[in-house]
Amino acid sequence: MQKTINCATFRKMVLVGAKMLDNNRAKVDSLNVFPVPDGDTGTNMSLTMQSAVKELAGTTSDSFMAVCDCISKGALKGARGNSGVILSQIFRGICQVLRVSKPEVDTKTFAKALESGTKVAYSAVSIPKEGTILTVVRMMSEFATKNASKYRDFETFLPAIIEEGDAALAKTPELLPVLKKAGVVDSGGVGLMTIMRGFQAALMGDEIISEVQTEAANAANAADMEFGDNSDIINMDLGEIQFAYCTEFFIINLKKSTTLADIDKLRENLMGIGDSVICIGDLEMVKVHVHTNCPGIALTYALELGELDRPKVENMLEQNRALRAKREAEKKDQGMLAVCVGEGIGDIFKDLFVDRIIEGGQTMNPSASDIATAVQKINADNVFVFPNNKNIILAAEQAKALVDNRTIHVIPTKNVPQGFAAALAFNPEASLEENKTNMIHALDNVKAGQVTHAVRTTSVNGFDIVEGDIIGLDDKKILAKSNSIDETVLRLIDKLKEDFHQIITLYYGEGVTEEDAAALAKKVQEAFPDCDVDYHFGGQPVYYYLLSLE
């Protein structure tokens, strides 16, 4: 049990955390949802960490004081964008506690360091906003402080903190409407959790991963199965950007007459001419970030305190125009949206070039609004929607009235196999009407079935069903039952199959192993030798198998 960490271990934690973030920065970048981000969150946070790593390389000391001072200084020097600056302040607060610690740090001290990181980060932002990286670090520090005495070793303490951080991350879409609208969790929070997982990898000797949680679907049970392309955010009117210029700079070589009160006054002055104000540092160096329409005034204020270093002014209006022009240039005439549930099913639709997936099916029908929102995020003038369930077709039709800059074409697929057939019939070179006709005709060539278990005892469709029986259905009624999954599948296929069917495909769901599916496919092939039989992972809940006959 590792009850304490020394300076060498903490140095390694920072290095591995920085490396893991660097490996995942493109994925974190994908989550930016603001009209014109100050660069990209993942890149900004990674460059902030790399600056700390570079400064750390300049010392061979094994004392917490020297190492922590390098990390704080390097992170502040390299801080970029809001996310990078806040991250630098989290580490500044952590290091304020650790730098004066004993050679070995226990869980209680680490909890105090996290608490300090939270306080310093919150104080750095003029108007702290919940649903961001701030919420994530606060919830982790509160948990750590309350539970440090319960967890006496880092092998259990750090994973517990990370679990709490993941829970906080999952809540960010509920706290920040812009995240919920885009179907993503907070990008800064994802970046921070990636670093925390790097800390854990350093302690446990785990591999550095390149897969991080980015989706609100997994984190917060949102309707979307993948993060959005932010079209609804990028398409904001230019008039919605109140302050046009993102202005950043350092103040160095501060005048002898400058005081900490002057830095506070500078922060107040900047808040009077803009927003997104960050003004942090000490009498050695100050880091400033502000969105304003008067960048010259911001620079003039700063010159009263000292010298300017590395000033940067970016026109966010022009960045917005460029983003919108790029999106317009990439727009296509036709796209596809599928409603489904199950990781494997979703992957198959993606392989068939379906642009977007939203989660839904039996007992979990998405609303017309859910469908309309997903359609908005597909960069196409016309979008074919595959409901893949008879109970979702009406909602898909109603979604047409909720979309004003795209046209929805509902292909009335009643099940997943029909959805696959429709997607296969799509030809990007064909006309809209030709694709629509081919998709609808493709539905006639598919018969589908599903196998599950009875949840109660009843008599229906001529069967006396006992709770626990394995039953086989088509879209309308029960066609087969037995005490065996395999036997029910064989009986259901026998009921569904017609002479023209040549292909039988099994999609196996949760709780069914690949070995089970392979063995069943072999039995089906023997029972129906005139057909080609295949099986694929569907991952759908409730149904052991989905069947497709073509």
Question: Residue by residue, what is the 3-state secondary structure of 154-171?
Answer: HHHHHHHHHHHHHHHHHH
55 neighbors 73 (Cβ within 8 angstroms): yes
Structure tokens at 188: 């800064």
Where in the chain are all domains bearing CATH 3.30.70? Answer: 238-320
Where in the chain are all domains bearing CATH 3.40.50.510? Answer: 331-443
513-538 pLDDT tens trace? 999 999 999 999 999 999 999 999 99
Where in the chain are all domains bearing CATH 1.25.40.340? Answer: 4-218
413-446 pLDDT tens trace? 999 999 999 999 999 999 999 999 999 999 999 9
Where in the chain are all domains bearing CATH 3.30.1180.10? Answer: 448-549
Structure tokens at 473: 């259905």
358 neighbors 366 (Cβ within 8 angstroms): yes
CATH architecture of structural domain 4-218:
Alpha Horseshoe (1.25)
Looking at the chain, the whole-number percentage of residues with pLDDT higher than 90 is: 59
89-132 pLDDT tens trace? 999 999 999 999 888 999 999 999 999 999 999 987 767 788 88
CATH architecture of structural domain 331-443:
3-Layer(aba) Sandwich (3.40)
CATH 3.30.1180.10 fits 448-549, yes or no: yes
Q: What CATH code is assigned to 238-320?
A: 3.30.70
Residue 322: pLDDT band (50, 70, 90) is confident
**pLDDT (mean) for 365-376:** 86
Cα–Cα distance for residue pair 339/385, rounded to 1 Å: 8
Residue 229: pLDDT band (50, 70, 90) is very low
Tell me, what's the pLDDT at 240? Answer: 60
- What count of residues does the chain have? 550
447-468 pLDDT tens trace? 999 999 998 888 888 899 999 9
Tell me, what's the pLDDT at 182? Answer: 58
Q: Which residues pair with 547 in a beta bridge?
A: 449, 506
Cα–Cα distance for residue pair 95/84, rounded to 1 Å: 16
Distance, C-alpha 303 to centroid of its chain: 41
Looking at the chain, the whole-number percentage of residues with pLDDT higher than 70 is: 90
Q: Tell me which of 301 and 151 has the higher pLDDT.
A: 301
Handedness of CA 463, 546, 336, 184 (dihedral sign): positive
Cα–Cα distance for residue pair 35/231, rounded to 1 Å: 10
Computed over every residue of the chain, the mean pLDDT equals 86
Q: Tell me which of 285 and 31 has the higher pLDDT.
A: 285
In the three-class reduction of DSSP (H, G, I as helix; E, B as strand; rest coil), residue 236 is classed as coil
DSSP character string of 495-529: HH--TT--EEEEEE-TT--HHHHHHHHHHHHHH-T
Tell me, what's the pLDDT at 237? Answer: 44
Tell me, what's the pLDDT at 215? Answer: 43
- Global pTM exceeds 0.85: no
Tell me, what's the pLDDT at 181? Answer: 62
Residue 219: pLDDT band (50, 70, 90) is very low
Residue 494: pLDDT band (50, 70, 90) is very high
